[in-house]
Amino acid sequence: MAFEEKSYALHREWYDDQASEEHFRKITQFLTHCITWADKMSYRLFQPLLPLCQAEPGQSWLTVGDGKYGIDAKFLLLHNQTALASDIAEPLLKYAYQKQFIPNYTIQNAEKLTFEDNSFDYVLCKEAYHHFPRPYLALYEMLRVAKKGIVLIEPQDMSLQMPLLLAFLNWGDSLFPSLVNRIYKNRYSFEEVGNFVYKVSRREMEKVALGLGLRWIAFQSFYFGYTPQMHTHKWNDFSWFSIKRRSLIHLITLAKKLKLIDLPMLATIIFKTDPPARTLQNLKSSKFEIRHLPQNPFACRTLAAAPTE
């Protein structure tokens, strides 16, 4: 069995063991709090989607890797969009559909999407890209089936955004490589389900857009303070758990404002067409960093102008 096939199988097996009434209740309770502002800190996980939803109502979306009961599609549906949830494993999506939590779903391998080109206005992949064994294949597949653009919300490769950390890694690799790996344990991250955590970066996404001649890309880094205890703690703003979590979020956000660090989550929007003025304005108001990439001067020549043999 090829490694990627083993990875697909491991993920399917993991999800096969998850579907239950208790698991559905815990996860959907937590995520429903996220998408309805009941927990304003966790809402940040979905907040980067709002400028698009508000500027362009009624758009069609495909959510990729939406295996936790289709919660990403649910958010979009609650914000005047149409959405089709998809994942490589069926159990949790089927359970959510039977509970009428989502209206429909489809089973898809993100690296081999079965849809025609430009089938959806937008494609969303939130916290799933880093699970894929061949994420670039999935990225280009998402761009293929999207008409207007794609949205990735994923962990960020912090070593590429923090020059001092990168300098430390380069220096340490030349002198004490084993010590560096022990100190910086997040350098090679693997998850229990079996995948390497494939983190993204601004430069990586920018190169993807440039290679395809796409001119508009937007970024927003953020932090929402995820811990496993969030699924079980009581939703009380004055609980010790909530106070500690809010304090940590504010401390890290302050460090970001002081240019000491970047934030660990990165929302990326790659547009395939020129975004409407209202969309750009909404993104700017939401503190997105918008880049209008240069046009490739050599790819713009017409066939008639190209040299002939």
- 284 against 24, higher pLDDT: 284
* Domain spans, the chain: 3-295
Q: Which two tokens stand for residue 223?
A: 């932090």
The CATH code of the domain at 3-295 is 3.40.50.150
> How far does the chain reach from its first CA to its final CA, in angstroms?
47
Query: Using an 8 Å Cβ cutoff, are 123 and 146 in contact?
Result: yes
pLDDT of residue 119: 98
pLDDT of residue 309: 44
- Band of residue 161 on the pLDDT scale cut at 50, 70, 90: low
pLDDT of residue 39: 53
Average pLDDT, the chain: 84
What is the per-residue pLDDT across 17-50, written as a single tens digit (0 to 9) for each?
Answer: 777 788 787 777 767 766 665 455 556 788 899 9
- Band of residue 178 on the pLDDT scale cut at 50, 70, 90: confident
What is the per-residue pLDDT across 98-156, written as a single tens digit (0 to 9) for each?
Answer: 999 999 999 999 999 999 999 999 999 999 999 999 999 999 999 999 999 999 999 99
pLDDT of residue 194: 85
Query: Using an 8 Å Cβ cutoff, are 89 and 115 in contact?
Result: no
pLDDT of residue 164: 66
Enclosing H/E stretch for 135: helix 135-145
Q: Say how far apart CA 283 and CA 55 lie, in whole Å.
A: 9
State yes or no: pLDDT of 306 exceeds 50: no
Q: Say how far apart CA 33 and CA 44 lie, in whole Å.
A: 11
pLDDT of residue 286: 93
What is the mean predicted confidence (pLDDT) over 176-198? Answer: 77
